[in-house]
Amino acid sequence: MRLFVAIDLPEGIKRQLDALCAGVSGAKWVSPEQMHLTLRFIGEVDTRQFEGIQTVLAGIRSPSFEMALKGVGQFPPKGKPRVLWVGITAPRTLHQLAGKVEAALRQAGIPPEDRPFSPHITLARLKTPPPPEAVSQYFRRYGAFQTGSITVGHFRLMSSVLARTGATYKIEGEYQLEQADQT
**Gap between the Cα atoms of 107 and 45, Å rounded:** 14
The DSSP annotation for 104-156 comes to HHHHTTPPPPSS----EEEEEEESSPPPHHHHHHHHHHHTT-B---EEE-EEE
What distance in Å separates the CA atoms of residue 160 and residue 43, rounded to the nearest whole number? Answer: 9
Residue of 14, 36, 100, 156 with catalytic role = 36
Cβ count within 10 A of residue 131? 11
Which residue intervals of 32-115 are DSSP H helices? 47-58, 92-107
Which residue in 108, 120, 122, 135 is the catalytic one? 120
Q: Are strands 2-8 and 154-163 parallel, antiparallel or unpaired?
A: antiparallel
The count of other CB atoms within 10 Å of the CB of residue 134 is 16
Active site residue 95: no
Q: Is 36 tagged catalytic?
A: yes
Termini Cα distance of the chain: 43
- Rounded Cα distance between 87 and 68, Å, is 9
Active centre residues (catalytic)? 36, 120
